[in-house]
Structure 1
């Protein structure tokens, strides 16, 4: 594979590129301790959907707190400004955030609590929006904001004026594909 082919492969929408990546599996320490002689009847799987569409499989106990799962996802993502985000579940097409002290079993479906092979889906989402993007200090946090807002616009959870949408689409293309590369596409100046 040539350098240009590698560049092209690494370009493009992140939500498409993550589909080719191997599944990330995280295990909470309570689950590791449970392996030492305890029954696996209380072990469950959570699928945490990140703003880029990647699913992270979290193996945990039925009585795991939302904050424990959130902390593990934040640590895995190397997200410094994690206080803007939270874990949410969907009920009737609306997102509801889980408090750190709330046990996952309180918001999960009955089938997740009773059937060990059932997976409950949570979403890592922006919980607190800022009025000015300059308040966000870290590039990774800005990137997660971009991904969340992009997804919400595409899924009609947010709306904007048509002219603004066209401008944002252009910025999204530049963010996903980079600046125009003359060797790939003939650009007019």
Structure 2
């Protein structure tokens, strides 16, 4: 928490750290006690050039290790007053029925990033065959076409893409990457991933553990 001004005119400024969908990327947002949750989300979306903001939200973990969505209509600091440092995770809150119909390319990319996370953390349940094809799409997007002199052995094993990443799935993903997805641009591979993922029964489902 930062304070500016004289003793008679003190403005309290809180600093929030926001983890983006790519864990390697973070943002910082300074906000004041009167600012509502909407202020922080709008700041993040502006930094990411996202216009279709309604699909996104900010998650935080309270002192009891429970996850919550930041209420955009309520004062932000009152919701996270027991957490230090203030840490939010930028996530997709409302999944579009058909992500390929989104107007903005940057929105589609953020949905793609969220679905990659869902696949990695086991929230996007699918058959081994579907998992192999989704993994192959990610590899095609990140590595491009298969090049024998560059991609030796089981190069997919170097990438953690699935919660339960078996040798059989990796072998099938290798085959698909080298054949079926050859020639796909990164954008085409991501579009193919979105089309497949959005048709799964667990698309847009957020499972919660129960006791």
Coarse TM-score class (shorter-chain normalised): 0.5 to 0.7
Q: Deviations over 1:10-34 (max 9, x none)?
A: xxxxxxxxxxxxxxxxxxxxx8xx7
Cα drift, residue 43 of structure 1? 2.4
SS in 2 for 1:48: strand
Cα drift, residue 74 of structure 1? 0.8
Residue in structure 2 matched with residue 99 of structure 1 by the alignment: 71
- Structure-2 change in CA distance of 1:174 and 1:46 (3 Å): same
Ranked by relative contact order (alpha carbons within 8 Å, sequence separation 6 or more), the top structure is 1
Residue in structure 1 matched with residue 97 of structure 2 by the alignment: 131
Answer whether contact 1:49 1:124 (CA < 8 A) is retained: yes
1:163 and 2:133 equivalent? no
Q: Gapped runs of 5+ residues in structure 2?
A: 153-176, 180-211
SS in 1 for 2:96: coil
Instruction: Give the paired residue count.
Output: 150
Answer whether contact 2:145 2:178 (CA < 8 A) is retained: no
TM-score normalised over the length of structure 2: 0.61
- Structure-2 change in CA distance of 1:141 and 1:35 (3 Å): same
Cα drift, residue 76 of structure 1? 0.6
TM-score normalised over the length of structure 1: 0.67
Structural RMSD (CA): 2.7
Q: Gapped runs of 5+ residues in structure 1?
A: 1-30, 113-117
Answer whether contact 1:65 1:102 (CA < 8 A) is retained: yes
